[in-house]
Structure 1
Amino acid sequence: MALMGWLDGRTARLVGHCPAIATALTAQGATLVADGDCDVLIHVAPPPPVQLAHEQSHAEWRATLDAGLDQRFLLAKDFAAARRAAGKGGTVVFVGAPEQALGADQAAAGGALGNLTKTLGVEWARDGIRVNTVQTEADDATLGNLVAYLASDYAAYVTGAVMGVGLDD
């Protein structure tokens, strides 16, 4: 028997496209919102095109770091500020391709995101805000259920974790 209603009464903002995550969140009772105040922020980054480092311009390098790290940080920072101002905790989950799967630019962004996740997970824990990252190229029920779990109270003590789903060796 599956547990249901993990996220009853919660609102979740899903930035990026991932039908499996949207399905799992709503199946567990979350209401998806397009913007504004929410309890859970999930950011799904599309992978950039794979490009060899020696063929990449500085502008392309910066664009990947901006999309894979900078924009995520700014989004999470705004979310955390709003949750603090409201006197509430919350959850941030970053989802994206593992750094090993793509080029040097993605490896740099992914490695930095892992360190950012660990740092924010510790720093924001005192405010009741959890931050975790899931590295995967999958878009399936396993991914959706993991993100729903991380957004739930069942994962209340999970923060600063960087984990993989469906990663080939």
Structure 2
Amino acid sequence: MSGWLNGKRARIEGECPAIASALAAQGASLVDAGDCDIWVHIAPPPPIKLAHELTHAEWRDSLDAGLDRRFLGAKDFAGQCRARGTGGAILFVGAPEQALGADQAAAAGALGNLTKTLGVEWARDGIRVNSVLTRDAGDTLGNLAAYLVSDYAAYVTGAVMGIDLDD
């Protein structure tokens, strides 16, 4: 099999069958733990509530899922890449800022800035960081994800992309 991701090991945290399928179709080995070359984090969408109905605990839970866990996971992945002396690719996937309420909007906005900052900061180590913010979970997302974590996107880092849906 000849694919963009032959010989790469990818760990996907979260659920998106289209991404898993696209990475595997391009030759990536999907792993649950251990060293990997690619780390994809897909945050589950929080329940949609109006801002004035959110409790502080719900607000914090959304920021934890949408930002804190992503930063800590990326930091861990980057440390593993540095320890082995290789680069890697990080991809964050989630809903766009305006899609799911104030708590998710705050997390998505911060994630965009985090993506840009880590993309610049870790580029010198060969670690690329990108985000796709969309409500799409189909083949377009899977194919974009496979491209962004591939060597074909070697000069793409710190990018926050979206996929428009024809609603």
TM-score bucket (shorter structure): over 0.9
Match for residue 34 of structure 1 among 22, 32, 35: 32
Deviations 1:44-99 (A, max 9, x none): 11110110010111110000000000000000000000000100000000000111
Q: Distance in 1 between matches of 2:166 and 2:158?
A: 23
Q: Which runs of 4+ in 1 moved over 3 A?
A: none
Aligned to 2:110: 112
**RMSD, aligned α-carbons:** 1.1
Structure 1 residue 168 displacement after superposition: 6.0
Q: How many residues align?
A: 166
State the AA in 1 paired with 2:102. Answer: A
- The normalised TM-score by structure 1 is 0.96
Q: Give identity over the alignment, percent.
A: 73
Aligned to 2:80: 82
Q: Distance in 2 between matches of 1:59 and 1:29?
A: 41
In structure 1, stretches of 5+ residues that fail to align are: none
Structure 1 residue 35 displacement after superposition: 1.2
Q: Distance in 1 between matches of 2:165 and 2:125?
A: 32
Aligned to 1:144: 142
SS in 1 for 2:90: strand
Aligned to 2:131: 133
Matched, 1:161 2:159: yes
Q: Distance in 2 between matches of 1:69 and 1:163?
A: 17
Match for residue 73 of structure 1 among 58, 64, 71: 71
SS in 1 for 2:52: helix
Structure 1 residue 167 displacement after superposition: 4.4
Structure 1 residue 166 displacement after superposition: 2.6
Q: Distance in 1 between matches of 2:125 and 2:109?
A: 25
